[in-house]
Amino acid sequence: MNNRDEILVTGAAGFVGRETVRHLLAKDWHVRGLVRSEVRKESAPHARLSLHKVGDISAISNWSLLVSGCRVVVHLAARAHKTGEFPDASQALFRRTNVDATIALARVALAAKVKRFVFVSSAGVMGDFSQRPFTEADLPQPASAYAMSKWQAEQALQDICRQGAMELVILRPVLVYGPGNPGNLERLMRLIKTGMPLPLASVDNRRSLLNVGHLAAIIAEAAQLPAAAGKTVLLADGNDVSTPELLRAFAEGMGVKARLFPMPSSLLLTMARLFGRSRDAERLLGSLQVDTKLKTELFGAFPRDATIRGLIETGRSER
Residues carrying an active site annotation = 146
Angle among Cα 275, 311, 283 to the nearest 5 degrees reads 25
Contact 213, 178 (CB under 8 A): yes
Q: Among candidates 10, 27, 77, which has minimal Cα distance to 225?
A: 27
For residue 136, which amino acid is it?
A: E
Listed residue (224, 218, 236) closest to 287, CA to CA: 236
Q: Give dist(CA 146, CA 139) in Å, integer.
A: 17
Please provide the DSSP assignment of the chain as one string.
Answer: --TT-EEEEETTTSHHHHHHHHHHHHTT-EEEEEESS---GGG---TTEEEEE---GGG-S--HHHHTT-SEEEE---PPP-TT--HHHHHHHHIIIIIIHHHHHHHHHHHTT-SEEEEE--GGGG-S--SS-B-TTSPP---SHHHHHHHHHHHHHHHHHTTSS-EEEEEEE-EEE-TT--THHHHHHHHHHTT--BS-TT----B-EEEHHHHHHHHHHHTT-GGGTT-EEEE--S--B-HHHHHHHHHHHHTS---B----HHHHHHHHHHTT-HHHHHHHHS-B-B--HHHHHHH-PPPTTHHHHHHHHHHHTT-
Cα–Cα distance measured from residue 26 to residue 51, given in angstroms and rounded to the nearest whole number: 17
